[in-house]
Structure formats: structure tokens, C-alpha cells
Amino acid sequence: MATLEVVTPDASRLLAPNPGPMTLDGTNTWVLRAPSDDRAVVIDPGPIEDGHVDEVAKLGPIAAIVLTHGHFDHGECAPQLHEMTGAPVIARDPALCIAADPIPDSPGLSSLAGLEWLTVLTPGHSSDSVSFVLESDRALLTGDTVLGRGTAVIAHPDGNLGDYLDSLQRLRDLAGGDIEVVLPGHGPVLHQPIEVLDYYLAHRAERLDQVRAALAAGDTDEDEVVRRVYADVDESLWDYAKLSVRAQLDYLRDHDG
């Protein structure tokens, strides 16, 4: 079983046992706890896999279960954890909430269990993606919007590249203030948030240029674009790459005419 790893004064990580090509080392379940309160806020309790939910429940008492988005590797066990602990489940998508209101259109600051955090809407990877700024630690929790290794997939059709680029810029603007560390949904912690977000923005611009070039070269569908643009990516990941290519093609149709 994974052990709880203290990462910042108020944030610890429990790694879920679901490693894979898209989940990297596994889902990072973030456990936030202020020194002044014995209750925890759990961000992304993860999948129902190999007793992970039991390990999370042992970290209680839990004041709230919060989801960065609704993909199963982040929130599959949230209903079970709610049954075990009584903690409400808070998410952007109302269908995922239990005993709580959904995250509103203008979320702002929240206070719970001695913690204060800023909720930021960051759609793009998925339509319901949100990120959180833990102000006490100058930490940014990004879910799948920014990963600790590699780059995120735009989960078309729910994901949208235009929204994603706006979200990255929003996080880049935040990082230019007091953000010192990124706590991602998968992969290692990142200690240079501005450089990371600049890279993400540059990478997306480069990919769009590559897709434009592929279309100009005569590629006519997503399979042809993937073969050309993602030739350096393991072929086992091409089905995931197709999701991003579909999002890129939609973006270019909307913006390039």
C-alpha cells in the first residue's frame, strides 16, 4: 500500500495503485489539512482499485471530497468514500455532487476545515475541469489540466482546445503571482510553474502548426494527421492522440476558416 507523502505544509499525496500510459505513476490523491484543524479535504479520491478507498478513509475525519473533474481515475470512489465518511462530494458537474452544491460559474475563495483555497474554472481537458490555489502553501492543484510529466490530452468531444488554451493562460497569469509549486493529478510535483505553463502554451502552439502543415501536405482525416504529427509517440497511444487531433481540427475550423 502507498504511504502518505507530505509535499507542502498543508498538502500530502496518497498515490493510487493505477499506473498506466495515461495515469503515469497513478492518480495523485491530495489530502489537505491545516495545522489548526484535524479534518482533511480530499482532492480526487481516485479509482476503486486495490483498497485505495479504504486507505483514503483511514485519513479521516474528512470534511469534504472535492473533484478536479469527473474522469473515473479521479473520482470513481467518491460515492463510496462519501458512504464511509459522510463527507459531501463537491464538483463542477452537478451529477457528481453528493450532499453539496456544484462549483458555481464564479467560484472564488472557499474556506473549510481551517483551509482557504481559490477555485479556478479550467475547462479544456474536460468541460468540468477545475483547479485550486492553496493559498497557505502557494500551491496550484491542477488535476489533468497540467501533468507532472508529459502533456494533457484534450478529451474530445467533451474537451475543447480553445477552452484549454484560455485555461492555461489563466493559470499562467496566476503563476506569475505567488504560486511556487504545482500539485498535478498525475506525475511528480513541479517547482517551476511559470516555466511549465509557458512550455504547455508553446507546445500547443507547435502542435497546431504541425496539424496545419499536415493538412497543407494533403492529410485529410485524423488518422493521417496522427501518423504524421505523432510519429514520435508510441503507436499504442495513438488512440488517445486522436482525441487531441479531433480537438485541434475543430479549433482550426473555428479559427482558421
Which residues are known catalytic residues?
73
* Distance separating alpha carbons of residues 186 and 26, to the nearest angstrom: 6
* Distance separating alpha carbons of residues 167 and 127, to the nearest angstrom: 11
81's grid cell = 468514500
Q: How far is CA 29 from CA 43, 214, 224, in A?
A: 6, 39, 37
